[in-house]
Amino acid sequence: MKRRILLGAAIAVSVSLSAGVSFADTPPLAVKDTYRVGFAQMESNNPWRIAETKSFHDTAKSCGWELIATDAAGSAAKQVADVDSMIAQGIDVLFLPPREEKPLLPAVMKAKAAGIPTFLIDRSVDSNIAQAGEHFVAFLGSDFIEQGNRAAEWLIDNFAGEKGVIVELEGTTGSSPANDRKKGFDDRILQDDRFEIVASQTGDFARDLGRQVMETLLQAHPDVNVVYAHNDEMAIGAIQALELAGRKPGVDITVVSIDGTRDALQAIIDGKMGVTVESSPFFGPLACDVMKKYAAGEKIPGWVKVEDRVFTIENAADHIDEAY
């Protein structure tokens, strides 16, 4: 049977319902020794994504996963196609980090229609359309609004100048961390009238783009003295652009960021970055634990929240050896 599912104004998808079976809640998962598991990664162009994929591979054997892992190379359309292919290969369960909030909705809906429980990993989808407990089992991940809040609070407490002129480097447009890290930071920082955000532009969570965008924004706003980047890769790119332009990150410009990569912790130790709020990529063990609890019939909360730390000059050296 073919059914047309409407996903908001712009997106519609046709799905086949297997033998007329449909699920009001998320599909069940049998208790088994081994599971065929799909992990549909969005891209592998930064250390965070590489560490996350490795965490799934490292967990596979001990969790009884026959892991099918794909890389969508930065394309939401390919990520949807990768999930289609996993469904065709008969996966029991899907772990999905959706690159953007809306374009990945069809993948979530199609997995459900095929009787496959989906766990959203590290990013979420549009909650006006897809809900935990109905379309997907749960979102496993950080509180991105809180991460933005914490970056802003560090800046408020540590900025010594009179006027903070901020350039914001946003993550991938339409992704949940870009939306929420912006909201969390902007709402908090603008409560302090020392600060002004003079430009906010996407660097797509990528180092090269972060560097290029910073170069351009520096010309338009030479008085900038704070950079807030939605992830460490863009922050490192921005530091490179600033240094090329003769600026001194950590001395005449404060850099605040999110993730906790090795390069960011090194930049903090070197005095070039002020803070990075942690966003852990090590989801493999958590995914195994939550999946097994779900199979055993335990009630899973709609949001399995990951608690994050904050890395500054006080503790960066203590954690660099475990960083990725």
Which residues have CB under 8 Å from 198's CB, separation 6+? 165, 166, 167, 221, 224
- Cβ distance to ligand AHR smaller for residue 38 or 47: 47
d(CA 210, CA 193): 27
Provide the mask over 164-193, with x wherever binding to ligand AHR is found by CB under 6 A and - wherever it is not: -------------x----------------
CA dist., res. 213 & res. 10, Å (int): 30
Q: Does 259 bind ligand AHR (CB under 6 A)?
A: yes
Decide if residue 48 touches ligand AHR (CB under 6 A). yes
Question: Residue 122 CB, nearest distance to ligand AHR (Å)?
Answer: 4
What number of chain residues touch ligand AHR (CB under 6 A)? Answer: 11
Instruction: Name the one residue in this structure whose structure tokens are 């190379």.
Output: 73
Q: How far apart are CA 89 and CA 99, in angstroms?
A: 22
Binding of residue 103 to ligand AHR (CB under 6 A): no
Pairing type for strands 11-16 and 35-41 reads unpaired
DSSP class of 249: B
Strands 11-16 and 2-7: antiparallel
Site map for ligand AHR, 196-235, x if CB under 6 A? ---------x-------------------------x----
Stretch that binds ligand AHR, among 4-12, 41-49, 54-62, 83-91 (CB under 6 A): 41-49
Which residues pair with residue 39 across a beta bridge?
69, 95
Footprint of ligand AHR on 105-124 (CB under 6 A): 122-123
* Residue 279 lies near ligand AHR (rule: CB under 6 A): yes
* Among 43-51, 72-80, 194-202, 302-310, the segment contacting ligand AHR (CB under 6 A): 43-51
The residue type at 12: A
Read off the amino acid at residue 191: Q
Q: Applying CB under 6 A, which residues contact ligand AHR? A: 46, 48-49, 122-123, 177, 205, 231, 258-259, 279
